[in-house]
């Protein structure tokens, strides 16, 4: 069978997976961590510790401050030295809990062994509670609280859980590495999510450029199926074509199920729930090992970096510590990106700290990342062809320039997923998304204000 992919738009940038063969290394503990209270989509968490408190690894240090919010745990053991607003990766001032690291003392009850626990608990509510208490959020980019996503609103039924192993952004390899190295744990995590969703079928979707991950995943799945059957028999691995933005939720659902989430709708409307492979691993650890989400894997990469790394890091570790450990910032680096080159954020300094959803530290040289001077649109239509949402970026750009909100809405600017395919493919270097992005925000605010 031909590999699956989404039908509309998409681009094929060089995937540059130069760090794909680098095994995950455990990053040493820094002297101090600074843990953000806004590591998830929704309301920032409320700190429940005070300056001077002694905390252990895995201890709750903040509670959710709303329905869409998440617990935050201490990633280290030590003393709380400050609770203060600091700039996060995006430059927003957010409350951080600073902890001076002393030793590495874990909370009791956390299973730090590598023994696989493949038996899936029966009690769904208990599972959801553990996921919630474990502070698990989506690690594919949006950091949406996982327990909320696993509890569809009444009347909606999950027909398929898609495990997102597309990792379609160039350079990023952290998902690939955990799929290779922690395969069985991910499969168990997927089975747990499926149990919560009423034992729905699971598709583990991986792009074709990750051969080793596909092989390992298939064999680990086969082993678990032979031993346990049950919910494991409902899991299958499907191979996707290499195309960006395959890992976009709507695109992935289209690729795997052939269904299009309607504009303004949710995946569950078409019976789909999407979770990232790293999230499945976090679910496994939270449910089977009582280990809250305090670590994640991040790629340190770039063509100008002599040695590539994939690190298992403690959340709250300063970026400067990671960069120093990876050999320092290369002289040729002109831009440092947290995330992938298509949707990641360019950061102005390394003072911020890692969060749950940190996936990479990417160095790009000036030649790789410089913007070409914008020249006249030649109406070649490449942006419209590349748009995975079927929009007309050239038109939206013109309308955004003119501030025509009515036409922007009529032309569905609010459907834009900000994947960057339009700018990427424009031969005239027109900064399409730069203007479409704020226009989208304006139109969404207008639509909301009507309600």
On whether the CB atoms of residues 439 and 413 are closer than 8 A, the answer is yes
Q: What is residue 19's DSSP assignment?
A: T
For residues 349 and 26, what is the distance between their CA atoms, to the nearest angstrom?
Answer: 24
Q: Is residue 260 part of the contact set for another protein (CB under 8 A)?
A: yes
- For residue 179, give the H/E element and its range: helix 174-181
Q: Is residue 348 part of the contact set for another protein (CB under 8 A)?
A: yes
Among 137, 293, 423, 439, binds another protein (CB under 8 A): 423
- State in Å, rounded, how far the first CA of the chain is from the last one: 46
Q: In the stretch 146-175, what mask flags binding to another protein with x, by CB under 8 A?
A: ------------------------x-----
Q: Is residue 384 part of the contact set for another protein (CB under 8 A)?
A: yes
For residues 367 and 252, what is the distance between their CA atoms, to the nearest angstrom?
Answer: 32
Using the minimum distance from each CB to another protein, give the nearer residue, 121 or 330: 330
Write the Ramachandran bin of 10: left for phi over 0, alpha for psi from -120 to 50, otherwise beta.
Answer: left
Q: Is residue 193 part of the contact set for another protein (CB under 8 A)?
A: no
Using the minimum distance from each CB to another protein, give the nearer residue, 101 or 355: 355
On whether the CB atoms of residues 302 and 171 are closer than 8 A, the answer is yes
Q: Is residue 305 part of the contact set for another protein (CB under 8 A)?
A: no
For the CB of residue 395, give the shortest distance to another protein in the complex, in Å: 9
Q: Is residue 434 part of the contact set for another protein (CB under 8 A)?
A: yes
For residues 393 and 286, what is the distance between their CA atoms, to the nearest angstrom?
Answer: 42
Among 105, 424, 442, 444, binds another protein (CB under 8 A): 424
Q: Is residue 397 part of the contact set for another protein (CB under 8 A)?
A: no
Closest by CA position to 235, among listed 191, 276, 272: 191
Q: Is residue 70 part of the contact set for another protein (CB under 8 A)?
A: no
Q: Is residue 100 part of the contact set for another protein (CB under 8 A)?
A: no
Q: Is residue 192 part of the contact set for another protein (CB under 8 A)?
A: no
Kindly report the number of other CB atoms within 10 A of residue 366's CB atom.
Answer: 11
- Residues between 212 and 251 that touch another protein (CB under 8 A): 250
For residues 124 and 139, what is the distance between their CA atoms, to the nearest angstrom?
Answer: 22
Coil, helix or strand at residue 237: strand
Closest by CA position to 253, among listed 264, 244, 261, 242: 261
Q: Is residue 106 part of the contact set for another protein (CB under 8 A)?
A: no
Among 214, 341, 352, 353, binds another protein (CB under 8 A): 341
Which residues are near another protein by CB under 8 A? 8, 11, 13, 170, 250, 254, 260-263, 265, 329, 331, 333-337, 339, 341-350, 364, 366, 368-372, 375-382, 384, 387-392, 394, 412, 415, 418, 420, 423-429, 433-434, 437
């Amino acid at each position: 069978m031909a590999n699956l992919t989404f039908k509309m738009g998409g681009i094929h940038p060089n995937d540059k997976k130069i760090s794909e063969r680098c095994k995950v290394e455990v990053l040493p503990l820094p002297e101090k961590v600074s843990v953000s209270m806004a590591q998830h989509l929704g309301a920032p968490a409320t700190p429940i510790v005070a300056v001077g408190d002694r905390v252990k690894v895995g201890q709750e240090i903040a509670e959710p401050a709303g329905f869409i919010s998440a617990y935050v745990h201490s990633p280290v053991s030590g003393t709380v030295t400050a609770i203060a607003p600091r700039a996060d990766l995006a430059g927003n001032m957010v409350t951080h809990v600073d902890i001076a690291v002393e030793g590495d003392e874990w909370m009791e009850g956390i299973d730090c062994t590598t023994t696989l626990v493949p038996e899936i608990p029966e009690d769904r509510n208990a599972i959801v509670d553990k996921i919630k208490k474990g502070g698990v959020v989506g690690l594919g980019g949006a950091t949406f609280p996982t327990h909320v996503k696993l509890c569809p609103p009444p009347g909606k039924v999950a027909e398929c859980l898609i495990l997102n192993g597309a990792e379609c952004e160039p350079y990023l390899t952290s998902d690939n590495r955990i799929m290779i190295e922690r395969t069985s744990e991910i499969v168990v995590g997927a089975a747990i999510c499926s149990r919560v969703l009423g034992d729905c079928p699971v598709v583990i979707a991986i792009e074709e450029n990750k051969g080793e991950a596909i092989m390992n995943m298939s064999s680990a799945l086969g082993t678990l199926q032979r031993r346990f059957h049950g919910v494991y028999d409902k899991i299958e691995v499907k191979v996707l074509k290499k195309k960006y933005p395959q890992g976009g939720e709507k695109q992935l659902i289209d690729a795997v199920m052939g269904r299009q989430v309607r504009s303004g709708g949710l995946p569950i409307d078409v019976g789909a729930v999407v979770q990232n492979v790293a999230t499945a691993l976090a679910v496994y650890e939270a449910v089977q090992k009582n280990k809250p989400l305090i670590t994640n894997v991040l790629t340190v990469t770039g063509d100008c970096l002599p040695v590539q790394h994939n690190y298992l890091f403690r959340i709250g570790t300063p970026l400067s510590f990671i960069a120093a450990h990876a050999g320092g910032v290369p002289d040729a680096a002109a831009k440092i990106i947290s995330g992938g080159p298509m949707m990641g954020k360019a950061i102005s300094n390394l003072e911020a700290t890692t969060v749950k959803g940190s996936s990479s530290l990417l160095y790009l040289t000036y030649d790789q990342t410089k913007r070409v001077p914008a020249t006249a649109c030649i109406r070649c239509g490449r942006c419209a062809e590349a748009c995975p949402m079927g929009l007309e970026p050239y038109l939206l750009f013109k309308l955004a320039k003119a501030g025509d909100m009515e036409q922007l809405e009529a032309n569905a600017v609010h459907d834009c997923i900000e994947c960057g395919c339009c700018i990427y493919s424009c031969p005239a270097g027109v900064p399409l998304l730069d203007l479409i992005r704020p226009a989208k925000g304006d139109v969404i605010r207008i639509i909301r204000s009507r309600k």
